[in-house]
């Protein structure tokens, strides 16, 4: 696991590079929560961010490099107007845009609904912005939450 801090236009940007494996979920969550405490993120927003982080990182760990193991980069930055936490997930695994998934029909019962898609649907509902890009052989998923 590597961590470094880079400056950008007066704002601190933190990055964590870590193997994209489920066993690293706790380390990722702890790292992000420590940062959220530093930037005085309200508890409700932190809980919502934790849900989004769990969904996104677990998808990278399960699917991006399968059956190999690769790295994920998690970039943390703040915006000031309005005050927001921005988390960007980057990996060099298989190209995949989760935002292209058809929204699940939440009127169906759990038994009738096809498996998959509910997690990213939830992420889109609880975050203020969710964006995806594929650039230079890299999946880039950015979430933003006003705090």
pLDDT at residue 41 in the model:
96
What does the pLDDT read at residue 7?
45
pLDDT (tens digit per residue) in 91-104: 999 999 988 866 65
CATH topology of domain 2-146: Heat Shock Protein 90 (3.30.565)
Q: Give yes or no for a contact between 11 and 78, defined as CB atoms under 8 angstroms apart.
A: yes
CB-CB contact of 64 with 70 (8 Å)? yes
CA distance 46 to 33: 7
Structure tokens at 89: 């997930």
Q: What is the pLDDT along the chain (147 residues), one digit of tens a residue?
A: 544 444 444 357 899 999 999 999 999 999 999 999 999 999 999 999 999 999 999 999 999 999 999 999 999 999 988 899 999 999 999 999 988 866 655 555 556 555 555 678 899 999 999 999 999 999 999 999 999
Asked whether 105 and 114 are in contact (CB, 8 A), the reply is no
How many angstroms separate the CA atoms of 17 and 118, rounded? 27
Write down the domain spans for the chain: 2-146
Q: How far is it, in rounded angstroms, from Cα 17 to Cα 20?
A: 9
Which of 100, 88, 97, 96 lies closest to 129 in space, CA to CA?
88
Q: Which of 99-120 are b and which e, b meaning 16 or more Cβ less than 10 Å from the residue's Cβ?
A: eeeeebeeeeeeeeeeeeebbb
Give me the pLDDT at residue 117, please: 54
């Amino acid at each position: 696991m590597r961590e470094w801090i880079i400056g950008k236009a007066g704002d601190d940007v933190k990055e964590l590079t870590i193997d994209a494996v489920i066993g690293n979920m706790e380390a990722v969550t702890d790292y992000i929560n420590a940062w959220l405490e530093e930037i005085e993120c309200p508890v409700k927003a932190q809980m919502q961010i934790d849900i989004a982080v769990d969904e996104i990182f677990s998808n990278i760990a399960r699917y991006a490099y399968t059956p190999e193991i690769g790295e994920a980069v998690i970039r943390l930055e703040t915006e000031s107007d309005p005050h927001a936490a921005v988390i960007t997930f980057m990996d060099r695994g298989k190209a995949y845009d989760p935002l292209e998934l058809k929204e699940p029909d939440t009127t169906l019962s759990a038994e009738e609904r096809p498996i998959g898609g509910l997690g990213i649907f939830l992420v889109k509902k609880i975050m203020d912005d969710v964006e995806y890009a594929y650039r230079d052989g890299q999946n880039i998923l950015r979430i933003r939450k006003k705090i």
